[in-house]
């Protein structure tokens, strides 16, 4: 009985993620402006005039002393909808550990196209905060668009949103920002209650430019006493003939269009794919080894602290796993204050262990440390530099030495928010990070490594019954598989040379460990099961050394695809990122017959138990016809082979 219950829990969790279970969003209109209110996160999203996105969103997060974003519990939602105008009010509770903060929000939209969002909050306990209050998100598509800025002292200036990802704040000391959304049509955002500034959130792969309260130059964290009241206001106003734009309101076609590029020069080489060594499992068993070998990976990655007493044990374990898998190691080095002594010790360990190293990566590198690694570890190995947290750090600490022939940066989609929509928004920006990096990396080998679902630094131990903050339940879900399809797609199309994902086994890996490893109930997986992510990596790994063709989508927040080619074979993976059924039409695919394979909630349990049987099963025969469509269930992955 208990086993059957755990099986059911695993199947349910593969198919459903918590962020999909909240209240439905509320569609709103203020004259020419349309938008939705996200009741789960107290956020106004997707403010549009016709087909033009004006703002990606407005919210008011509470950020703790570690930059963690507190969860929101929204209640008492009241709406007065007048068709082309509205007023909305709601209450929000933000509670986590010692922090208890509540706020009331009111949003008023007029028929003239003005939005006023008010925030009135109070601290119910004393705590430390880094920031509390409004964030206004301009869409990433605004890159290069003209703007006009007004500072808190009334000065005005003109400029543009940065085209390439800006390492530092492109606008400071803000009171208002206007940007052109169409010829003669501008959208103004005016902020009150604090001093605001802007950062280019594409640094963290967010799909926006964020104008936020409380400049970073002010000291933080700040002690907030119980009873402290915080009040802010944001107003959005349109100028010019916006009403004409509203006439071009997008009409959702029944089918989402995917188009495979057919230009001869459109192909990119599929990046070299790898995994990180497991942080949960010290050694791989025979079954895990066989399953991982089937992924046809390029490398295994481990990060080590050169001052760690267990350094030799860790390096020996990683070396054994790499040999079992027939892989080379990428070893990221975190070097302490006693750099020379630590590295000399590493040299002696290397002489004993003889690890199969393909590259040494110096994290948080200075020129001096990089040259010291070259001196002691030798130039016969590839030695590069790495910023493991996010693109921001690489963007702000660009490699100088010409000898740094390999450059790496990590990414995760949850630096600022954790909902599924935010994760989906980051996918396209991953490619933008690669393109921006190319502006200063040049022809060096560029790796994105590691890619994880959550920020890996743990600032506080988990509460009883909770998972560590660097573990995400979506690791074992169909959504995680779809997100991974999108990630590989955009990184490959942007020209990344290699990507390291997740870990081998465990709650941050591509499969659950064997029964000898105890997994907490908070992570409801059965032992020795592969996650849906595993199948994505395997299906793509079969085309290692092949090419990728760009695939455009008419609805990138819903459905994306990656087209693979190798030795005359073609494979198209299509991922339904949404929680809705979708109809898809593919253009640019060869006519004739194909084989169709599906990974969805109907077969995910069986596929997790016996991945070999899933891969070898006979797919459906698909006749490719002009105008033909495919139906997809929520968070389904389709595989079309020709």
Predicted pLDDT at 516: 87
Strand partners of residue 363? 386
User: Where are the strands (E) in 240-340, listed by range?
Assistant: 256-260, 268-269, 272-276, 299-305, 328-334
Indicate the CATH number for domain 267-513: 3.20.20.80
pLDDT for 599 beyond 60: yes
The mean pLDDT value for 513-522 works out to 89
* CATH entry 3.40.50.2300 includes domain 24-246: no
Given its phi and psi angles, is residue 184 left (phi above 0), alpha (psi -120 to 50 degrees) or beta? left
Among 409, 385, 370, 366, CA closest to 165: 409
Helix axes 339-353, 311-325, angle to 10 degrees: 40
The mean pLDDT value for 216-235 works out to 97
Strand partners of residue 564? 548, 571
Among 531, 500, 513, 530, CA closest to 276: 500
Predicted pLDDT at 401: 85
The mean pLDDT value for 266-285 works out to 96
- Asked if 275 contacts 500 with a C-beta cutoff of 8 angstroms, the reply is yes
Q: Which tokens in the block code for residue 384?
A: 């590069």
Local structure of residue 504 (DSSP, 8 states) = S
pLDDT for 18 beyond 50: no
The mean pLDDT value for 597-615 works out to 96
pLDDT for 11 beyond 90: no
Residues contacting 93, CB < 8 A, separation 6+: 72, 73, 75, 100, 101, 102
Is residue 406 within a helix (H) or strand (E), and if so which, with residue range?
A: strand 406-411
For residues 308 and 305, give the distance between their C-alpha atoms in angstroms, rounded to a whole number: 5
The mean pLDDT value for 455-464 works out to 88
Q: How confident is the model at residue 5 (pLDDT cuts 50, 70, 90)?
A: very low
Instruction: Parse the chain into domains and list their residue ranges.
Output: 24-246, 267-513
Q: Which tokens in the block code for residue 262?
A: 């057919």
pLDDT in tens, 79-123: 999 999 999 999 999 999 999 999 999 999 999 999 999 999 999
């Amino acid at each position: 009985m208990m086993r059957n219950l755990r099986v059911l829990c695993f199947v349910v969790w593969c198919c459903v993620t918590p962020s999909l279970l909240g209240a439905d969003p509320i569609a709103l209109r203020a004259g020419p402006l349309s938008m939705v209110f996200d009741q789960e996160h107290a956020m106004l999203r997707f403010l549009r005039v016709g087909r033009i996105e004006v703002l990606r969103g407005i919210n008011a997060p509470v950020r703790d002393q570690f930059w963690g974003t507190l969860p929101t519990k929204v209640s008492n939602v009241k709406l007065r909808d007048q068709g082309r105008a509205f007023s909305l009010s709601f209450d929000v509770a933000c509670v986590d550990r010692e922090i208890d903060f509540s706020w009331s929000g009111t949003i008023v939209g007029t028929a003239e196209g003005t939005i006023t969002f008010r925030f009135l909050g109070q601290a119910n306990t004393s705590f430390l905060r880094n920031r509390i209050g409004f964030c206004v998100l301009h869409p990433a598509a605004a890159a290069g668009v003209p703007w006009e800025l007004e500072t808190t002292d009334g000065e005005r200036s003109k400029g543009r949103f940065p085209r390439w990802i800006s390492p530092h704040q492109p606008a400071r000391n803000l009171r208002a920002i206007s940007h052109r959304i169409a010829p003669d049509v501008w959208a103004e955002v005016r902020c009150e209650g604090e001093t605001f500034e802007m950062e280019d959130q594409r640094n963290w792969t967010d799909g926006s430019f964020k104008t936020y309260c409380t400049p970073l130059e002010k000291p933080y964290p700040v002690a907030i006493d119980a009873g402290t009241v915080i009040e802010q206001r944001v107003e959005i106003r349109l100028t010019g003939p916006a009403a004409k734009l509203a006439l071009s309101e997008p009409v959702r076609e029944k089918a989402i269009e995917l188009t495979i590029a057919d230009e001869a020069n459109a192909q990119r080489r599929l990046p070299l794919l790898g995994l990180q060594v497991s942080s949960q499992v010290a050694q791989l068993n025979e079954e895990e080894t066989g399953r991982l070998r089937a992924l046809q990976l390029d490398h295994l990655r481990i990060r080590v602290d050169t001052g760690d007493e267990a350094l030799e044990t860790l390096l020996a374990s990683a070396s054994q796993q790499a040999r079992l898998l027939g892989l080379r190691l990428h070893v990221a080095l975190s070097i302490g204050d006693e750099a020379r002594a630590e590295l000399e010790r590493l040299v002696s360990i290397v002489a004993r262990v003889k690890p199969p190293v393909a590259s040494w990566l110096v994290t948080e590198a200075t020129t001096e440390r990089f040259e010291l690694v070259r001196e002691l570890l030798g130039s016969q190995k590839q030695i590069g530099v790495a910023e493991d947290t996010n693109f921001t750090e690489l963007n702000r600490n660009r490699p100088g030495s010409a000898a740094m022939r390999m450059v790496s940066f990590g990414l995760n989609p949850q630096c600022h928010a954790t909902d599924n929509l935010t994760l989906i928004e980051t996918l396209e920006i991953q490619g933008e990070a690669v393109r921006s990096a190319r502006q200063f990396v040049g022809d060096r080998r560029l790796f994105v490594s590691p890619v994880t679902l959550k920020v890996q630094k743990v600032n506080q131990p988990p509460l009883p019954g909770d998972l560590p903050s660097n573990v995400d339940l979506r690791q074992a879900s169909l959504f995680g598989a779809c997100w991974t399809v999108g990630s590989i797609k955009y990184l490959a199309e942007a020209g990344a040379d290699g990507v390291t994902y997740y870990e081998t086994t465990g709650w941050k890996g591509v499969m659950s460990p064997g029964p000898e490893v105890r997994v907490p109930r908070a992570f409801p997986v059965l032992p020795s099961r592969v996650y849906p992510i595993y199948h994505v990596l395997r299906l793509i790994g079969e085309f290692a050394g092949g090419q990728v063709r760009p695939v455009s989508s008419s609805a990138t927040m819903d459905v994306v695809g990656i087209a693979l080619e190798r030795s005359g074979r073609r494979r198209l993976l299509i991922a339904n990122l949404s929680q809705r059924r979708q109809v898809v039409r593919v253009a640019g695919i060869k006519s004739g017959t194909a084989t169709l394979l599906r990974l969805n909630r109907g077969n995910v349990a069986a596929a997790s138990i016996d991945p070999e049987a899933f891969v070898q099963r006979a797919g459906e025969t698909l006749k490719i016809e002009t105008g033909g469509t495919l139906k997809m269930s929520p968070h389904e992955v389709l595989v079309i082979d020709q």
